[in-house]
Amino acid sequence: MSTESSYYVPEQSKLPIITATGMGILAFGAASWVIEGGSPTIFLIGLLIMVLVMYKWWSIVIDENMRGLANDQLKKSYVLGMLWFIFSELMFFVAFFGALFYVRVFANSWLGGEAAVGLFDDTPTDAAAANNQILWPGYQAEWPVMVTPDQMANGEDAQFKGPEQNMNFPGWSSLLSWLPLWNTVVLMTSSVTVHIAHTALKNDNRKKFNTWLGITVALGIFFLFLQAEEYIHAYQHMGLTLETGIYGTTFFLLTGFHGAHVTLGTCMLLVQWLRGLKGHFSHDDQFGFEAASWYWHFVDVVWVGLFLFVYVLA
């Protein structure tokens, strides 16, 4: 089964259907928890199913590779599968960045009474100005949206109120206490450490590989800790929540989903670190680690975009 002309075909498995079920429960539970303000029980059940499936599935794949069943042809399919997975995740974030761009450049300006800039002229339309005068007179288009159109129209009875403060660049005097900056430093450093680990593995320096990969995992956990601190600060001291208008929604949507990806990437690297401690991988057989490192670099690049467009250039 390990000859160059053969292709290993695994036995039939129920894991794909269980995975689909777990993802469905996870998504339904998350939506119910956030939108309806209910219990996180359903979400946690879905999460538990996904964790158990990943553990079982990864164990099978690792065992197949250790038994020599994964030949070159199969490994090429692994590479293509991982690249398509990362591409799909990239499109996921492109949609979210597109939503942020649309809200900031078009929708907010229209609600403030400004016309969208036409393709052939810059003349404001009467409809946009009428919206401002009739629906929410006095509303000024700005970003971040600190006072929502609902507040301008309904005052204290408004359902959607803006936050008290935003998470933007606080000024040079407060730079060192700005959590997003430290998040960026930690994540960019982790990209360097995982590269050092990769280089060490290629040179068959296992001790250096284990050390720097362990540091990378620790940095990933530290990033998640800092982001949790940021969310606590935003909720308790800045009045910034999912319900504080479009700014709060887009902020937590982008940073929250990125945090979920960092969590997944950290788990992937943790598994590879534990495998490294057991003596797995070599300079010519290390796809499991390489796939996790590719994903980690992707997560780092996405954070750079988030840092620039959500925090710095707001």
Q: How far is CA 80 from the centre of its chain?
A: 22
Q: What is the mean pLDDT of residues 80-103?
A: 92
Contacts of 142 (CB under 8 A, 6+ apart): 108, 112
pLDDT at 11 over 70: yes
* pLDDT value at residue 1: 43
Q: What is the mean pLDDT of residues 252-271?
A: 93
User: Taking CA 211 as the corner, what is the angle to CA 210 and CA 217, rounded to the nearest 5 degrees?
Assistant: 85
Q: Determine whether 20 is exposed, middle or buried from the number of CB atoms within 10 Å of its CB (0-12, 13-18, 19+).
A: exposed
Report the range out of 7-16, 133-142, 237-246 with the highest average pLDDT: 237-246
* pLDDT value at residue 146: 87
* pLDDT value at residue 135: 65
Print burial letters for 199-213: b (CB count within 10 Å at least 16), e (below 16): ebbeeeebeebbbbb
Confidence of residue 266 (pLDDT cuts 50, 70, 90): very high
pLDDT > 70 fraction of the chain, expressed in percent and rounded: 89
Q: At what angle do helices 41-66 and 287-306 cross, to 10 degrees?
A: 140
Q: Residue 138 and residue 39: Cα distance in Å, rounded?
A: 40
241 in Cβ contact with 235 (< 8 Å)? yes
pLDDT tens for 161-214 read 888 888 888 778 878 888 899 999 999 999 999 999 999 999 989 999 999 999
Q: What is the mean pLDDT of residues 265-278?
A: 92
Q: Residue 255 and residue 310: Cα distance in Å, rounded?
A: 9
User: Whose structure tokens read 């991988």?
Assistant: 281
Confidence of residue 132 (pLDDT cuts 50, 70, 90): low
Closest CA to 81 of 91, 71, 92, 89: 89
Q: Residue 197 and residue 182: Cα distance in Å, rounded?
A: 22
72 in Cβ contact with 52 (< 8 Å)? no
pLDDT tens for 29-45 read 988 887 766 788 999 99
Print burial letters for 45-66: b (CB count within 10 Å at least 16), e (below 16): ebbebbeebbeeeeeebbeebe
Domains along the chain?
1-70 (1.10.287.70), 72-314 (1.20.120.80)
Closest CA to 267 of 51, 87, 56, 29: 51
Q: Residue 308 and residue 314: Cα distance in Å, rounded?
A: 8
pLDDT tens for 102-123 read 988 888 877 776 654 443 444 5
Q: How far is CA 252 from the centre of its chain?
A: 11
